[in-house]
Amino acid sequence: MFKINLKENKIFLIPVAVLFLILIASFIILRPKISDIFKARRELASNRKQLTALTEKLSTLEGLAEVELDEKVNNVLRVLPAEKDVAKNLFVLKRLTLDAGLVFGGMSLGEVGEISTGSAKPKLIRGAILPSLSFDILVIGTQDKVKDFLVSLESVAPLMKVTQLSTTQKKGNVPESTILIESFYLPLPKTIGKSETPINPINREEEKVLAKISEFKTFKDEEEFYFATGFKGNPFDF
Amino acid sequence: MKKEINFLTGQRADLEKKAKISRIAKVASFITLIAYFLIVGTVFSYWFFLNNQVENISSQITLKKNKIEDLKDIELLQVLLKQRLSSLNNFFKNDRNPDFVSLISYFENVPQGVKIKGFIAANTGELTVSGESSNVVVLGEFLDKFKKDETNSLFSNVTLSILDRQTGGSYMFVISLEAKDSV
C-alpha cells in the first residue's frame, strides 16, 4: 500500500502548505476580485462613453441661444403647425384668393378626423411625407389670377400644396377653377429621448430650408383679418 | 595495519543535503508567499483604483445630467426644430408636382381658332385638356404644336382621346397628356 512517510518528507510540508494556502486564497479572495475588476473595467468603459456623450451634449446645449432657437422654432411651427388648424387654413385660402383678385366660390374639406393632434394619430396618405388636410376650393377668375394664386400658395404659411387643378370655361363666362389643396401639419415629438441621446445639429440643407421658410408669408391673426376685411360672419360659412 | 571505516560521513552528507533542501524550500516558500501577497495587494489596489474611477465618473455623469436637465427647454426646442426641419427638407427634396403655373401659361397660348374649354391636372401627372377648334386645319396645327413640344419639360405622351365633329363644323377634342414633375 502507498504510504507517505511524513518524517522523511517533513521538509516539503511548508512549501505544500504555502501552495495550499495560495490556492485556497486564490479561490476565495483573488478569483472574485479579478471578476470584480473585469466588471469594474466594463462599467468604467461604459461610464466613460456616457460621460463623453453627455459632455458633448452639454457643450452643444450650452452653445445654443434660447432666444434664437425659440425664434426659429416659432418660424417652423408657423409653416408646419403641430395641429390641424382648419380655421387658419380657411382664412389663409380665402385671403389668398382675395389677394389674387379671384372670387371665392366655395370650398369643401376632406376627411378632417380628430382636430386635437395631441391625442389624434395623424393619417399619412400612402407615399406622403407629411400628414395633411385636404381642401377643395372653387375660385372664379381669369387664368392669370389663378396663376397668381398658385404662386402665392407656394410660399405661404402654413405649408400647402396643390394636388389637383381643374379649369372649365363656359361660353362667355369667366373661367371657374376647382383646386384641390393639401395643407400639412406635423404633431410634436412625443419624447426627447434619454439624457445621453446626442443632440442632432441642424445641417446645411436644413439651414437652407429654414432660410426658405423664413420668407414664407404669414397672414396676421384672424381677428386682424376680420377688422381688415370687415368680415364678421361665420368663418365656416363661405 | 588497522583500517577504519567511518559510517557517519555518508549520513552527515545526507543530513546536510536535506537541511539545504529544507532551507531552500523554506526560502522559496517565503518568497512565493511574499510574491503572492504582492500580487494580491496589486489586484486589490487596482480594484480599489477602478472603483474610485467608476465613482468619480458616476458623480461627473450625475453632475452633467443635472446640468442637461436644467437646459431641458433648450433641448426640447432643438429636438422640435430638428424634427420639423428634417421633415420639411425631406418634403422639399422628394415632393414632386407638375408645374401647374407653366401648364396654365402653355394652354393660354394656343393657335387662333382653338379654344381650351377646360383642363384637369393632377399631381399624379395625369393631364386632360378639352377644347374646341374651328376647323380641322387649325386642329392639325394645334396637334402638331403638341407633338413638337412633347419633348419639353412640361409634358409627354400626348394622346388624342376624343375627336368629335360638331353640327356647326367645329371639332370638340379631348387630349390626354402626362405632366412632368417640376424640379
Encode A206-238: b = buried (16+ Cβ within 10 Å), e = exposed.
Answer: beebbeebeeeeebeeeeebeeeeeeeeebeee
Taking contacts as CB-CB distances below 8 angstroms, the residues of chain B near A40 are: 47, 50-51, 53-54
Residues B85 and B109 in one domain: no
Q: What percent of chain B stands above pLDDT 70?
A: 92
Contact B53 A44 (CB under 8 A): yes
Contact B71 A129 (CB under 8 A): no
pLDDT in tens, chain A (238 residues): 556 666 667 778 888 898 999 999 999 999 999 999 999 999 999 999 999 999 999 999 999 999 999 999 999 999 999 988 888 888 899 889 999 999 988 888 876 665 555 545 556 666 678 898 888 999 999 989 999 999 999 889 899 999 999 998 877 778 899 999 999 999 988 877 777 788 888 999 999 999 999 999 988 765 555 545 555 455 454 4
Domain A82-121+129-189+201-229 has CATH 3.10.580.10: no
Residues B125 and B162 in one domain: yes
Residues B9 and B73 in one domain: yes
Q: Is the distance from CB of A138 to CB of A107 less than 8 angstroms?
A: yes
Of B95, B129, B163, the position where a domain reaches its end is: B95
Q: Compute the distance between CA of residue A157 and CA of residue A75 in angstroms, rounded to an integer.
A: 9
Q: Residue B177 above 90 pLDDT?
A: no
Contact A206 B89 (CB under 8 A): yes
pLDDT of residue A223: 53
Residue with more model confidence, B6 or B63 = B63
Residues B8 and B79 in one domain: yes
Q: Compute the distance between CA of residue B142 and CA of residue A112 in angstroms, rounded to an integer.
A: 43
| Lowest model confidence (mean pLDDT) among A67-71, A101-105, B115-119, B153-157 | B153-157
pLDDT of residue A111: 66
Q: Compute the distance between CA of residue A206 and CA of residue B32 in angstroms, rounded to an integer.
A: 68
Helix (H) or strand (E) holding B179: strand B171-179
pLDDT of residue B105: 86
- Amino acid identity, residue B182? S
The model's pTM: 0.76
Decide: residue B103, CB within 10 A, 0-12 exposed, 13-18 middle, 19+ buried: buried
CA angle B148, B149, B151 (to 5 degrees): 100
Residues spanned by the domain of B73: 1-95
pLDDT of residue A238: 44
Residues B90 and B108 in one domain: no
pLDDT of residue A45: 96
pLDDT of residue A28: 93
Q: Which has the closest alpha carbon to B174: B151, B137, B143?
A: B143
Residues B63 and B139 in one domain: no
Residues B91 and B104 in one domain: no
Residues B9 and B72 in one domain: yes
Query: Could you give the number of structural domains in chain B?
Result: 2
Residues B78 and B124 in one domain: no
pLDDT of residue A212: 93
Helix (H) or strand (E) holding B145: helix B136-149
Question: Mapped to the 3 state alphabet, what secondary structure does chain A carry?
Answer: CCCCCCCCCHHHHHHHHHHHHHHHHHHHHHHHHHHHHHHHHHHHHHHHHHHHHHHHHHHHHHCCCHHHHHHHHHHHHHHCCCCCCHHHHHHHHHHHHHHHCCEEEEEEECCCCCCCCCCCCCCCCCCCCCCEEEEEEEEECCHHHHHHHHHHHCCECCCEEEEEEEEECCCCCCCEEEEEEEEECCCCCCCCCCCCCCCCCCCHHHHHHHHHHHCCECCCCHHHHHHHHCCCCCCCCC
Residues B2 and B91 in one domain: yes
Taking contacts as CB-CB distances below 8 angstroms, the residues of chain A near B29 are: 14-15, 17-18
Q: Which has the closest alpha carbon to A177: A103, A237, A110?
A: A103
Cell output for B43: 489586484
Q: Parse chain A into domains and list their residue ranges.
A: 15-61, 82-121+129-189+201-229
Residues B50 and B64 in one domain: yes
Say which residues have a Cβ less than 8 Å from residue A183's Cβ, sequence separation at least 6: A89, A132, A133, A134, A135, A158, A159, A160
Q: By CA distance, what is B67's nearest residue in A?
A: A58
Contact A62 B40 (CB under 8 A): no
Residues B89 and B2 in one domain: yes
pLDDT per residue over B70-104, tens digit each? 999 999 999 999 999 999 999 998 877 888 888 88
Of B69, B95, B121, the position where a domain reaches its end is: B95
Contact A15 B33 (CB under 8 A): no
Contact A146 B123 (CB under 8 A): no
CA angle B89, A77, A234 (to 5 degrees): 125
Encode B123-139: b = buried (16+ Cβ within 10 Å), e = exposed.
Answer: bebebbbbbbbeeeebb
Say which residues have a Cβ less than 8 Å from residue A85's Cβ, sequence separation at least 6: A158, A185
Q: Which has the closest alpha carbon to B128: A166, A140, A144, A182?
A: A166
Q: How many CA atoms lie within 13 A of B88 on its CB side?
A: 31
Residue with more model confidence, B8 or A92 = A92
Q: By CA distance, what is B47's nearest residue in A?
A: A37
Q: Residue B45 above 80 pLDDT?
A: yes
Pairing of strands A132-140, B97-98: unpaired
Smallest Cβ distance to A54: which of B64, B80, B93? B64
